[in-house]
Chain A
Amino acid sequence: AQRVTQPEKLLSVFKGAPVELKCNYSYSGSPELFWYVQYSRQRLQLLLRHISRESIKGFTADLNKGETSFHLKKPFAQEEDSAMYYCALSHRSGAGSYQLTFGKGTKLSVIP
């Protein structure tokens, strides 16, 4: 069965320091991975997806199939990056539909 693991519930970093939010997955098929973010009092929204190989708000994530990881990185944290971050894996369910399986999330706190 598919699984997404985010080992850190809470991550605190100082402003300007590098950030790495860890995500590991298990899935027998070809993975499609996403990072979603939820800022305080806002709805959950897509941050980036691995298929686009894009950089959003300075964040990047590289899919490492050997290590089954999709860690989210940013070289210099900003206070506005403080939020809840969820890693998600898209996969086909037994019924044939695509579903997202989410990790439990990591709360990032950037200290001024």
Chain B
Amino acid sequence: GAGVSQSPSNKVTEKGKDVELRCDPISGHTALYWYRQSLGQGLEFLIYFQGNSAPDKSGLPSDRFSAERTGGSVSTLTIQRTQQEDSAVYLCASSPWGGGAYEQYFGPGTRLTVT
């Protein structure tokens, strides 16, 4: 079946602009995660959605970052007033459930470049 998809694959934006990144999880997966992958920094957890529960936003680096998940499926990560340090690959992952031992299935990522 189809895996996790993300769009756009690449985004170049000017400092100060807002950007929206989209994630389509695997159908039926209730858990959805956003991560940021910066050069040499590994993957950094940003936010987690589980079904219709309130999201875990504990990893968001600032209030410029927000995310929503509509209808328990598609998710959008929004970065307002982008800064150069926001340049990174943003990865989305989904999982059948939010339990600790479940595999997370990753999308191909969106490479964001802030100029």
If A86-B43, A97-B50, A104-B42 touch, whether A49 touches B103 (CB-CB below 8 Å) is: yes
- CB contacts (< 8 Å) of A98 on chain B: these are 48, 98-100, 102
Q: Which of B58, B98, B101 contacts A94 (CB 8 A)?
A: B58
Min distance, Cβ A48 to any Cβ of chain B, angstroms: 10
Q: Verify if B59 is at the interface (C-beta below 8 Å from A).
A: yes
Interface size on A, residues (CB 8 A): 27
Q: How far is the CA of A43 from the CA of B45 in the complex (A)?
A: 17
B16-24, B66-74, B75-83, B105-113: which lies at the interface: B105-113
Q: Is the CB of B58 within 8 A of A51?
A: no
Q: Verify if B14 is at the interface (C-beta below 8 Å from A).
A: no
Q: Verify if A55 is at the interface (C-beta below 8 Å from B).
A: no
Q: Is the CB of B106 within 8 A of A97?
A: no
Q: Verify if A26 is at the interface (C-beta below 8 Å from B).
A: no
- CB contacts (< 8 Å) of A96 on chain B: these are 56
Q: How far is the CA of A64 from the CA of B49 in the complex (A)?
A: 32
Q: Which residues of A contact B (CB under 8 A)?
A: 9, 32, 34, 43-46, 49, 51, 86, 88, 90-105
User: Top 6 A-B pairs ranked by shortest CB distance?
Assistant: A104-B42, A90-B100, A97-B56, A102-B43, A95-B56, A44-B106
